[in-house]
Structure 1
Amino acid sequence: MNKEWIKVVIAAFFEVFWVIGLKHAYDFWAWTGTAIAIFVSFYLMIMAGRKLPVGTVYAVFVGLGTAGTVFSEILIFGEPFKVEKVLLIVVLLAGVVGLKLVTADNVREGAES
């Protein structure tokens, strides 16, 4: 995995925090943390998208963020565990991994093709 894909994974990690923050923020500091998470998440995704295929970057970002958010809601916030939901997340992650595997890792130096 090259450093651009690592940026995408870290961006998805921060996406989980800002999505949770949008739902559960209640004071200035929680909203500040949410805003910082949004900034870091999108900054890393945009930086990775400059050198990797944007469609794949976005799909991986959203897929990992969605999976992380669902599992966080179950583990931290007491969302009911449903086998169907987990199976669908596994299918989503399989699609994300599949996209990553079929996307060439040849990193571009600029936006030109």
Structure 2
Amino acid sequence: MSWIYLIIAGISEIAWAFGLKYSNGFSNVLPSIFTVLGIIFSFYLFSKAINEIPIGTAYAVFTGIGAAGTVIIGMMFLNESASLLKIVLVITLLSGIIGLKLSTKDEKHEDKGGVA
């Protein structure tokens, strides 16, 4: 379930990144509300995911999904430039995310009440 939380959190990061663009420095009310709610939602899910996924892996996957998704949507729907190099680099990023998923074993983290 933690991987599902993490994937949804990464997708939510895409949404709030675009919300930031359209909030115009938080001067447009509706996009600003959408952005803040998206940030809260994505970080809530991210915090749930890191209970079982190592933080380094989780953070790399979280930000990787957000970065790759934002680039892809920008190229497809916002007329941002789409070069062969950019496409290859996004595929490389997605390959790294998949590789991290395949090479990571979920861990149950228990609070032992002290510093390890």
Residue number among 5, 15, 18 corresponding to 1:17 in the alignment = 15
Corresponding position: 1:40 with 2:71: no
Q: Unaligned regions of 5+ residues in structure 1, if any?
A: none
| CA distance in 1: counterparts of 2:77 and 2:94, whole angstroms | 21
Q: CA deviation at 1:72?
A: 1.0
Residue 110 of structure 1: how far off its partner (Å): 2.8
Percent identity over paired residues: 37
- In the other structure, the counterpart of 1:61 is 62
- In structure 2, give the amino acid aligned to 1:108: K
1:61-100 alignment to 2 at 5 Å? 61-100=62-101
| 1:7/1:48 contact within 8 Å kept | yes
Check conservation: 2:20, 2:31, Cα contact below 8 A: no
Aligned equivalents of 2:111, 2:98: Cα separation in 1: 24
Q: Distance in 1 between matches of 2:103 and 2:3?
A: 14
Alpha-carbon offset, residue 74 of structure 1: 1.0
Answer whether contact 2:10 2:42 (CA < 8 A) is retained.
yes
- Which amino acid in structure 2 is aligned with residue 32 of structure 1? I
Q: What TM-score, normalized by structure 2, do the two folds share?
A: 0.87
Aligned-partner SS, 1:80:
coil
The answer as to whether partners of 1:63 and 1:92 remain within 8 angstroms in 2 is yes
Does residue 50 (structure 1) correspond to residue 69 (structure 2)? The answer is no
AA aligned to 1:17 is A
**Native 8 Å contact 2:57 2:104 kept in 1:** yes
Distance 1:64 1:111 in 2: 28
| 1:72-93 deviation per Cα after TM superposition (whole angstroms, max 9, x unaligned) | 1111211021111110011111
Deviation per CA, 1:40-72: give whole Å up to 9, x if none.
111100111122111101111111111100011
State yes or no: 1:102 paired with 2:100. no
Deviation at 1:109, TM superposition (A): 5.2
